[in-house]
Structure 1
Amino acid sequence: MNLITEAYVDSLAMNASAIKNGKDLVKKNSFPKLCRSEDDTLLFGECKGSGSEPYRCSVDLAKEGQPVFRCSCPSRQFPCKHLLGLMYAYAGSKPFETAPIPPDILEKREKAEKREEKKAEAAANPAEAPKRKPNKSAQVKKLAAQLDGIALLEKLVLQTAQAGLGSLDKKMLQTLDDQAKQLGNAYVPGLQTALRELTALLRSDEDKERVYTQAAEQLCLLHTLVKKSRDYLQNRAADPELPPDTDSTIEEWIGRAWQLAELRELGRTRSGPELVQLAFRCYSDMARGEYVDEGYWADVSPSSPGGVVVTRTYRPFRAAQYIKEEDSCYEVMKVKELYLYPGELNPRVRWEESVPRPVAPEDLEAVRSQAVSGLAEAVKQVKNQIKNPLSEKHPVLLVASSGILQDSSGVPVLVDPQGKTILLSDLPSTGRPTTPLLPLLKQDQLRESAVLLRFGQDRETNRLTAQPLSIITGTGIVRLLY
């Protein structure tokens, strides 16, 4: 249990308030019973609550890197303040009595082991794993509802285009929002979000010329979404046995929430990768009504396919206090099984089990070796992606750099090993400036490195530009976004 330090417990807490409440329980001696198992795999105890019965809480450490929290309190925060208090008590060297593991926890462990055995068997023999049988009748009804939703969206898009963006006053925008709510009943939340992004743009107080340019692009995107998603769903309706498309992001655009079991059945998993985080950011997605915690990662394992993958945790505004906010990670995560969502240059990934380890020099070299050798190849990859209307317009790539200089006007410029250059500037979509940090770095940190770049298109010049997110040298990762 050496891993249970105060810093470790802090990292598990939902927020600062949970940390304070957990520590206060220890200070007030609210734990009349503190126990640990003889094999040091379980902490458990009782905590005084508002009722006559104490809350029973436990932290199960039988699985390395995967603590299991249990508490009888009704809190929706997990770990709750009682669990945090239990761990703070241990980290603070409070006396814990050695006691047998309670029978109910032994039973839960046994059930968990059986589930893990089945999961391991399914991962080892995906062809023999039992396939989930979809309810065809329900699927037909859902497809019909989705096509009705797409028809409604097409009507709204045509009406908006015919009326003109300049004619959309507050009343008409509210009408669009009200009609967008109907799409929520049509199983097309992705299309609903895309429509809300349009109305949010038109309500913006920014420069109107810029707003109308972005709104026109969003309207074109909606038109493309209508056509592509309708064609796709009509094909699926004609052939119910047709598997979902995993070569594009059309399912995600429509609003499918991929289940991990589905991704495993479709062969979208990888065993044993070792991931190192290169950059991290949090932002608010007003159209989705969610906070998004986003991390960019490189695989440093010997079998790495290269490329930068992304993790995204969505926290709905209404439930944000009950969902742990992700944070920057400065260690290598040894992942047992990695799930890959459909995507292009930066597919989204997710995992359930991982064990951290320190970053080693060979990890840094592995990241640097994955960098695109020059800007010509990087620009080609970016252009091939962004020309697709439904593709991510701000892909992220590792690019080899011989240095970062300033041009005659003082604008930072990345120079690749072949002498090609690209202007570095802050992208509004990133939500955070990073280029002002470049002059603070030492020259040896800017030379002969790999730079993580987020690309975008400058609408005024119609040229690609890039924002640096981190710089990977032979001695460390210099994070500009974290």
Structure 2
Amino acid sequence: MISFNEAHVDSLAINSSAMKNGRDLVKKNSFPILGKSADETIIFGECKGSGKEPYHCSVDYIKLEEPIFRCSCPSRQFPCKHILGLMYAYALGQTFEIADIPEDIVKKREKAEIREEKKEEKKKEPIGEVSEKRKKTNQSALLKKIASQLEGISLLEKLIHQLTNSGLGSLDKKTVKTLEDQAKQLGNYYIPGLQTAFRALLFKLNALQATSSSEMKESLYTSIVESLGILHTLVKKSREYLSGRLENPETPIDSETTLEEWIGHAWQLTELREQGRVRPGAELMQLSLLSYADQARSEFVDEGYWFDLLTGKLEVTRSYRPFKAVKHMREEDTVYEVVITEELVMYPGELNARVRWDTSTLRGVAIEDLAVIRNAAYTSFPDAIKLVKNQIKNPLSDKHPVLLLFYSEIRQIEDSLIIVDAQGKQLQLANIAFPDHDTTSLVALLNKQYVKNQAILVKFGHNMDKNQLQAQPLSIVATEDIIRFLY
């Protein structure tokens, strides 16, 4: 039986305007027909629109944890105001007559069942099993794609040489604009990741041209040199890897490192399953969630950090919302419950591998869950720092890994905040990973009970100017609650 309240419908709205429009439809009695199935797994209705024909909308709870929204309107918002209005009408107790499920929805349900059956069959296939027909069909296209990628890498190398040969000191706006125009050609060679990495460098070059601060220039020079080093490594490793695959198409795709993702490969769940990158289940607690704009990708990124209560691993989820489509896509919500998944799919990664899942259920957080998280925190800062340094010294590794640390005390030394472990080793807190999100200043506002003997989730970063490893606080896991600095 379907059961939800107005607050739940509010949470589904993409923005406050959609929320208001949905409620207004109910106030204006825009639903002449409201129906529900006998088993109450679906509600549906007709909503008056601007044309002669009404819009047909429905909310299908055939899978309780994954409602399916359908509407015949042309709106690109999801869920649209008609679906929200239908749900508000139900939440507000309006009368929904028991009726037969519309025929078009019955057919869609049947197709969905067939897709689910195929998906289950796919899961049962031996890991890595791929039909001979599929191999033969894809091999020719694969070779053409790899050849094109290698051409693109040569173009990228040419742009890098052009930049370094001219010298950073002699760059002007005209030169940077020329490089930007040439960089657009990289979009023709199936290397979107490499193109994004080069665009990130160009953003820094534009910032260098725009600033008159000598201190800012020095910091940007350091950052630009680091980016050039990453690009040089990317060109070298990508060429070696793709050349090897071109010579031997039977060479399996690299699913152990992040190189494919750097090149621009968008991993599909079926691929990751074929590579054996799955776990049978997980119990995940979200410890932090932040949204930021990635100018090089032209996308907003919703990034969540999760602790797996079963394995003790810290993992990350990322959802991307293109700038052009952001008003049609809903920002990720903070999750306060424990998420239980049937299957966890893992992307290639290091300390904080990216994960995804299809279906899940929720349960409340218990005190024992918080104890598991606290016990998993590093009690020795030197051990944690060694782990971080081993990762970030690799040019292609994530330079901002996240770890849980257990501190005995938070102290203020002059203008700096530090955390101290049981052996007296110190680590400075700073807005190093996300300078636009000031979380460090919030630490000073903590109640005294959180100043000593707590677990803290931090995102590391290397301060190039001070040549010092620093940590940005994301949340504190206490014995009975979690204090989030980002959510």
TM-score category, normalised to shorter length: over 0.9
**CA 1:128–1:147: 2 relative to 1, 3 Å:** closer
CA deviation map 1:430-455 (0-9, x unaligned):
53011111121122223222110110
Alignment of 1:89-100 (within 5 A): 89-100=89-100
2:418 matched to 1:413?
yes
Aligned counterpart in structure 2 of residue 265 of structure 1, from 252, 267, 274: 274
C-alpha displacement of 1:167: 1.8
Could you tell me whether the CA contact under 8 Å between 1:195 and 1:222 is conserved in 2? Answer: yes
Other-structure match for 1:228: 237
Structure 1 residue 392 corresponds to structure 2 residue 392: no
Report the Cα offset of residue 255 of structure 1: 0.4
Q: Does 1:178 align with 2:187?
A: no
SS at match of 1:471: strand
User: What is the CA-CA distance between 1:305 and the residue it aligns to?
Assistant: 2.4
Quickly say closer, same or farther: Cα 1:128–1:101, change in 2 above 3 A.
farther
8 Å CA contact 2:127–2:275 kept in 1: the answer is no
Q: Among 155, 159, 169, which residue is 1:156 paired with?
A: 159
Q: Deviations over 1:326-372 (max 9, x none)?
A: 12221211122221111111111112212222222122122222212
Q: AA paired with 1:288? A: R
User: For residue 235 of structure 2, what is the amino acid of its counterpart?
Assistant: V
Shift of 1:156: 0.8
Per-residue CA deviations over 1:404-459 (Å, capped at 9, x if unaligned) read: 2222x142211123322111111153530111111211222232221101101121
Q: Give the aligned partner of residue 15 of structure 1.
A: 15
CA distance in 2, matches of 1:340, 1:439: 37
Match of residue 305 from structure 1: 311
**Is the 2:338–2:363 contact (alpha carbons within 8 Å) kept by the matching residues of 1?**
yes
Which whole-Å CA distance do the structure 1 matches of 2:127 and 2:429 have between them?
48
Question: Does 135-144 or 358-367 show the bigger shift?
Answer: 358-367
Note if 1:479 corresponds to 2:469: no
* Partner residue, 2:290: 281
Deviations 1:38-79 (A, max 9, x none): 211101011111111111111011112100111111222221
Structure 1 equivalent of residue 341 of structure 2: 335
What is residue 249 of structure 1 aligned with on the other side? 258
Question: Which of 112-121 and 260-269 deviates more?
Answer: 112-121
Q: 8 Å contact 1:446–1:471 — kept in the other structure? A: no
Distance 1:130 1:249 in 2: 23
SS of structure 1 residue aligned to 2:79: coil
Aligned to 1:449: 454
* Aligned residue number for residue 120 of structure 2: 120
Question: 2:443 matched to 1:438?
Answer: yes
Per the alignment, residue 370 of structure 1 pairs with: 376
Q: CA deviation at 1:182?
A: 0.5
Alignment partner for residue 379 of structure 1, among 377, 382, 385? 385
Structure 1 length normalisation: TM-score?
Answer: 0.96
Q: Does 1:346 align with 2:346?
A: no
Question: Which of 364-373 and 89-98 deviates more?
Answer: 364-373
Give the conservation status (yes or no) of the 8 Å contact 2:219–2:465: no
SS at match of 2:434: helix
Choose the corresponding residue for 1:165, options 165, 168, 176: 168
Give the number of equivalent residue pairs. Answer: 478
Tell me which residue corresponds to 2:430: 425
Check conservation: 1:122, 1:128, Cα contact below 8 A. Answer: no
Matched residues in 1 for 2:91 and 2:451: separation? 41
Report the 3-state secondary structure (helix = DSSP H, G, I; strand = E; otherwise coil) of the residue aligned with 2:331.
coil
Residue 463 of structure 1: how far off its partner (Å):
1.6
Give the CA deviation at 1:461.
2.4
User: For structure 1, which segment, 286-295 or 109-118, has the greater mean C-alpha deviation from structure 2 after superposition?
Assistant: 109-118
Q: Aligned partner of 1:243: which letter?
A: P
Kindly indicate whether the alpha-carbon contact (under 8 Å) linking 2:128 and 2:275 is maintained by their aligned counterparts in 1: no
Q: Distance in 2 between matches of 1:447 and 1:113?
A: 53
Separation in structure 1 between the aligned mates of residue 363 and residue 8 of structure 2, nearest angstrom: 14
> Partner of 1:294: helix, strand, or coil?
strand
Please list every run of 5 or more consecutive structure 2 residues that lacks an aligned counterpart in the other structure.
none
One-letter code aligned to 2:307: A
- Aligned residue number for residue 201 of structure 2: 198
Measure, in 2, the Cα distance between the counterparts of 1:471 and 1:203: 37
Q: Is the 8 A contact 1:33 1:45 kept in 2?
A: yes
Among 247, 250, 253, the residue aligned to 1:238 = 247
Change (3 A) 1:165 1:429: farther
Give the alignment partner of residue 148 of structure 2, picking from 142, 145, 151: 145
Structure 1 residue aligned with 2:38: 38
Identity of matched residues, %: 57
Distance 1:430 1:109, change over 3 A: farther
Q: CA deviation at 1:140?
A: 0.7
Q: Distance in 2 between matches of 1:420 and 1:241?
A: 51
RMSD over aligned CA atoms reads 1.6
1:213 equivalenced with 2:222 (yes/no): yes
1:160–1:130 Cα change, 3 Å: closer
| Structure 1 residues 238 and 462: alpha-carbon distance in aligned structure 2, compared to 1, 3 A threshold | same
Distance (Å, rounded) in 2 between the aligned partners of 1:374 and 1:124: 43
> Normalized against structure 2, the TM-score is what?
0.95
Q: Which amino acid aligns with 2:407?
A: S
In structure 1, distance between residues paired with 2:415 and 2:176? 42
Q: Distance in 1 between matches of 2:380 and 2:325?
A: 44
What does residue 135 of structure 1 align with? 138
Tell me if 1:357 matches 2:357.
no
Q: C-alpha deviations, 1:67-120, integer Å up to 9, x for none?
A: 011111122222111111110111111111111222332332233223223322
CA positional deviation for 1:129: 6.2
- Find the aligned partners of 1:310 and 1:101 in 2 and give their Cα distance: 40
Q: Say if 2:76 is the partner of 1:67.
A: no
Give the superposition deviation at 1:306. 2.0
Displacement of 1:210 in angstroms is 1.2
- Find the partner of 2:331 among 316, 321, 325: 325
CA separation of 1:130 and 1:146: change in aligned 2, threshold 3 A: closer
